[in-house]
Amino acid sequence: MKLSTLSRKAYELLWPKTLASQLIILLLAAIVVAQALSIWIFQDERRIAMVAVARDNLLSRSVSIADLIEDTPQDLQDRILEASSSRFAVFWVGTTPLAPEPGTSRFEQRLQGYLSKQLDKGQTAHINIHADEKRGPRDRKFDHDDDNDGPSWRAVPKHERPHNLRKIMNKPEDLALSIKMTDGRWLNVATSYKPPPGDMIPLLVQLVLTALATVLIIGIAVRRVTRPLKDLAVSAEKFGRGEELEPLTPSGPSEVQALTSSFNDMQDRLTRFVRDRTRMLAAISHDLRTPITSLRIRAEFIEDDENREKMIETLEEMAAMTEATLRFARDEAHSESAEKADLSAMLESLAGDQQDLGHKCSVRMQEEITLSCRPVALKRALRNLIENGVRYGDSVDIEAARSAGEVVIRILDQGPGIPEDRLKDVFEPFVRLDESRNEETGGIGLGLAITRSIIHAHGGTIKLSNRAETGLEAEIRLPLGK
């Protein structure tokens, strides 16, 4: 289990995260594997084919020399044989055949049949293949005579051996050919064809050039796709934090351009929707002030004291709700630009304000934290949470720390807490919990709704939970931004 965990962590650490890097690595791996398999499969085949061509040429030349020797005076035969020999093959005439018996393998018999058809004077031909192509060049071995006297050329009398025979056949013999002449002598042919060495440099150069071309082409193609996607991701993050953005210019492939255009349309629709909603809310709240004020004046003329007081109390509550709603709408309509803010200084300032009022409020931070935000709006959201904690608890402790690209803020109070089934309800507008929040303490139920709206506008989250001992914990997570 530990080994599996370590392997997974190593994989996550070493494997690249970007699309371009992943595609380049996968394509390079495919090219290297394909090239390696091609080299392994075809390298020996190429060398064997070259050896086979050389053998076929040698057989044809041997037939021609045999016919020429038959028609040439004996005093000229040595000169012909010497001229026909090379460093790869030697020809000589003697009384002892280099290949004493016909070969028994299928390939040897096929070659002997080919020679028999070519020899128009009915000569006998013996062929011994000591390293035939079926075994491959790497598997060639010395073939020894049955009497273990060494290579077959040692059976040839020394006085008949050509001077370069031992030099040619001091390695595994490739082919030994003996053609019986009409006068009883034998035309012997000895070869030691070695396959040409495999030159890896051209293959490596080809592999490197292919890899470089692939990296270049894939890099350009993927960059053309990923660059607008990266811009789109950055814009989406900023838009999620409530920042106003200029429409993106569509670029890249048609699919990416369509995605960018859809994002621009969505951004425009959402912005217009929020603005229209905010204007409507502000207009309703503003228009309600006049009838509420009129009713408040008329209520003063009611003679029944009890009814008059109740009506005035209700109207004052409606006026407070209207003013709070109007204030919330104005704040939403106000476009505050995002900027870098020192969270440490902001929390210290909020805690200092509570301490000046005689409340217990402390801040614990291990390091200074700077994040991209709308400072005034964020400060208002944090102030709402801190004031709630001070109002319903004896003291408030504020903690903040970095965690995986975001900042986590915890506001802890010593109050009675909130019933578990009502933790989410308190974020709804105009919701108050009589068990722990009453009208005498102030507030109409918009504070937490405004706080959540501000936190969400920054691309963050807020969660309330009851502490194990006593009190409430508000956890806020905000992206640090770039």
DSSP line for 349-416: HHHHHHHHTT-EEEEEESS--EEEE-HHHHHHHHHHHHHHHHHHSSEEEEEEEEETTEEEEEEEE-S-
C-alpha distance from residue 343 to each of 335, 390, 404 (Å):
21, 20, 17
Sequence-distant (6+) residues with CB within 8 A of 461 are 455, 476, 477
Structure confidence at residue 48 (pLDDT): 58
Domain ranges of the chain: 45-191, 235-335, 336-479
Structure confidence at residue 476 (pLDDT): 93
C-alpha distance from residue 427 to each of 322, 357, 372, 448, 463 (Å):
18, 27, 24, 5, 10
Other beta carbons within 10 angstroms of residue 8's beta carbon come to: 10
Structure confidence at residue 455 (pLDDT): 87
Structure confidence at residue 410 (pLDDT): 93
Structure confidence at residue 139 (pLDDT): 39
* pLDDT one-digit tens code per residue, 136-192: 443 333 333 333 334 455 667 766 666 656 555 555 446 788 888 888 888 888 886
Sequence-distant (6+) residues with CB within 8 A of 114 are 59
Structure confidence at residue 79 (pLDDT): 87
Residue 295 · residue 335 · CB < 8 Å? no
Structure confidence at residue 274 (pLDDT): 73
The CATH number corresponding to 235-335 among 1.10.287.130, 1.10.260.30, 3.40.50.10860, 3.30.2130.10 equals: 1.10.287.130
For the chain, the average pLDDT equals 76
Instruction: Give me the average pLDDT of each 10-residue run along the chain (482 residues).
Output: 59 67 80 77 60 70 86 85 82 86 80 79 77 40 37 62 59 72 86 60 78 82 81 81 78 84 87 76 75 82 82 81 70 67 91 89 88 86 89 87 88 86 76 50 66 84 87 89 62
Sequence-distant (6+) residues with CB within 8 A of 12 are none
Q: Across-strand partners of 340?
A: 372
Q: Across-strand partners of 408?
A: 401, 477
Which two tokens mark 322? 């209207």
> Domain 336-479 is of which CATH architecture?
2-Layer Sandwich (3.30)
* pLDDT one-digit tens code per residue, 79-138: 888 888 887 788 888 888 888 888 887 777 877 887 888 887 777 888 887 644 444 443
Structure confidence at residue 21 (pLDDT): 75
Other beta carbons within 10 angstroms of residue 131's beta carbon come to: 23
